[in-house]
Structure 1
Amino acid sequence: MAAFALLLGLALAAPAPAPAAEATLLLDTAYEPAVEAAIDGAQREVVVGMYLFKADGPPTSRPRALVRHLREAVRRGVRVRVVLETDGRPGQEVARLNHATAVQLRDAGVEVLFDSPRRRSHGKFVVVDRRLCFVGSHNWTQSALHYNHEVSVRLD
C-alpha cells in the first residue's frame, strides 16, 4: 500500500492550485483510445496504478497495445511508472498475471512496483504529466477494454 499511496500522492501533487477540472465520461471502448492519446502526448511522466494488467494475449490485444504506447513514451524520454497489485499467496491469479506483465513492462524500460501483498489495491488510475487523470473501473485486460461494460472518467 505504501508504494501505491506514495506514487498516487506524487502523481497528483500540484505545485499550485489549479482551475476546476473538466470531466469526460468514458464508457466501454471509449476509454482506451483516450488513455493512449494521453500517453502519446505525455511530456514528463505517466503514472499508472492498476489492479490487473493482463498483457499475455496476442500482439494485437488491447493490453499489448498499451504496453507499446508505454514503451514509446519511455523512448521519448518520459518517465513511466506502473504500480500493480500482488498477493503473497501462491498461485493467486491476479499476482501471477501482473508479474508476467511486469516482465514485458520492464523490458520496455517502464519502472514497475508492486503494492504490499498484505493489502489489496483495487484502484485503476492513470496520471499524465500531473495534469490529466483517468480513474474508473477499467482494468487493463482484453475483457475490460473490449468486451465488458466499464465506466471511467478523464479529468483535465
Structure 2
Amino acid sequence: MDRKLLTSIILSLLIGTGIGYSISVPQISTLQSEKSSLESELATLITDYSNLNATYNNLNNSYNELLTQYSILQGIYEQLEEAYELLNTAGLVFDGLRISDLNVTNGYLYADLIGNVTNISNKTMSKVYVVLFTYEADGTLYDYHVKTIENLAVNETNEFKFFGVLKENQKFKVLAVGSYGLADIESDEVARLLAMLEGANARIAELEQMVNYEVYVLSDQNYYQSIINDLKNANETIIVAMYSMIYDPDDSFDWANDLIRELVYAKERGVNVTVIIEYRTYWGYMDENLEAYNFLSANNVNVRLDNETDTDHMKLVIIDDEIVYIGSHNWSESGLYYNHETSVKIVSENIARIFKEYLTTAFGI
C-alpha cells in the first residue's frame, strides 16, 4: 500500500477518534452525573423504606398491644356483666348504708379492723353484708372478708369486727350492701361477686394508668348512642375508615343514616372530615357503599372509595385526635341495631396518634 495513503488513513482515524471523544466527553459527564443522582435517589429511597418499615413495625406492635389489652378488657367486661346481673337478681341495695368510726387496732401478727354501719334508708334491711377488701402495695386486690348483720332497723347502728386481717400499713376498703328481703344470697357469694367487681375495676384503672387512656366497652346498640354524641360534639377533626357504610335515605329509622348525616353536619360547622369507604375487595366490589359515598361527596365531605384489590376490614373512627372507636360495628342498619357487635371507645391522644399514623401510612390521608 502506498505510504502516503496509509498515513492519510491513520491520520483520518486519529482525527475521527479525537472528534468522537471530544463529542462524547460531555455526554459521558452527563451520564455520570445522572448515575450519581440516581444512586443518591436510591440511597434516599432505601432510607425512606427503612424508616417506613420501622414505623410500620412500631405501629404493628402498638396495634398488637392494643388487641391484647382489648381482649383483656373484654374479659373484664364480661366478668362485670356477670357480677352485676347476679347482684341485681339478688335484690341487693347499694345505697342507704353508712360506714363510720373505722379503727385499726394492732394484733399479734396482723391488725384488727372495727367499725360501725348505720341503716340510713327508710326500711329495715333483713341482711347487711359488710365486705372488707385488702390490697397489695401496687393496688391489686389481695383478699376479701365478709360479715353479715341481720335485721338492721332504720337509723340503727351496728358494730362489725374483722380480726387479724390487716398487715402493717396495708391498704383496705370497706363496702356495705343490704337486702330488703326480696331475694336471698349467701354472704360468701356476695363477697365473691363484689370482689370480682372490685378486682375488675382495679384492673381497668391499672390499664388506664399504664397507657394513660380511658376505655369504654360498647356492645350492640350502646355503640350508636355513644358515637353519635361524640360526632355531634366534634370540634376539629373526624376521620372514618369503614368497611361497610350503607346510606338508605328512604328508611327514616336507619341509625346508619344518622351517623352519615352527622358527618355532613360536622363539615358544615367547620370540622375537617375525612372518610375512607371500602369498595374493591379480594372477591369483588361493594356497590352497597356507593350511596353513602355519593351522598357525602355531594355535600362536599372529603370522601374516597378504597379501590385497591386488597380488603380493608376496618371499622375505625378518630375524633378530635383524641377519641378512638374501633371494633366490629359497621355503619349499617344491621351492624348498629340488629346484630350482636362489640367495640371499644378509647380516649387518649397517644392512641389516637398511633391509629392516625397507621391510616396515613396506609392511605396517605
Q: Tell me, what secondary structure is at the counterpart of 2:221?
A: helix
Partner of 1:152: 343
Q: Distance in 2 between matches of 1:37 and 1:88?
A: 31
Contact 1:25 1:151 in 2 (8 A): yes
Query: What is the alpha-carbon root mean square deviation over aligned residues?
Result: 2.0
C-alpha deviation, 1:90, in angstroms: 9.8
Q: Distance in 2 between matches of 1:32 and 1:63?
A: 9
C-alpha deviation, 1:72, in angstroms: 1.1
Q: Which amino acid in 2 is paired with 1:131?
A: E
- Give CA deviations for 1:87-114 in whole Å, capped at 9, x if unaligned: 178973xx20112210011122211112
Higher relative contact order (CA 8 A, sep 6+): 1
Determine whether 1:121 maps to 2:312: yes
Percent identical across equivalent pairs? 31
Mean CA deviation greater in 105-114 or 68-77: 105-114
Unaligned stretches of 5+ residues in structure 1: 1-8, 10-18
Q: Distance in 2 between matches of 1:130 and 1:91?
A: 33
Q: Tell me, what secondary structure is at the counterpart of 1:126?
A: strand
Q: Distance in 1 between matches of 2:310 and 2:284?
A: 17
Which is richer in helix?
2
- Give CA deviations for 1:127-156 in whole Å, capped at 9, x if unaligned: 001100000000000001001000000000
1:85 is aligned, of 278, 284, 299, to 278
Unaligned stretches of 5+ residues in structure 2: 1-58, 60-210, 348-365
Contact 1:21 1:155 in 2 (8 A): yes
Partner of 1:16: none
Q: Which amino acid in 1 is paired with 2:253?
A: T
Determine whether 1:105 maps to 2:287: no
C-alpha deviation, 1:59, in angstroms: 3.2
Partner of 1:39: 231
- Paired residue total: 137
Partner of 2:254: 61
C-alpha deviation, 1:67, in angstroms: 1.8
Larger Cα Rg: Structure 1 or Structure 2? Answer: 2
Q: Distance in 2 between matches of 1:35 and 1:120?
A: 25
Contact 1:83 1:114 in 2 (8 A): yes
Q: Distance in 1 between matches of 2:224 and 2:307?
A: 27
Which is richer in strand?
2
C-alpha deviation, 1:75, in angstroms: 1.1
C-alpha deviation, 1:58, in angstroms: 1.1
Q: Distance in 2 between matches of 1:64 and 1:91?
A: 25
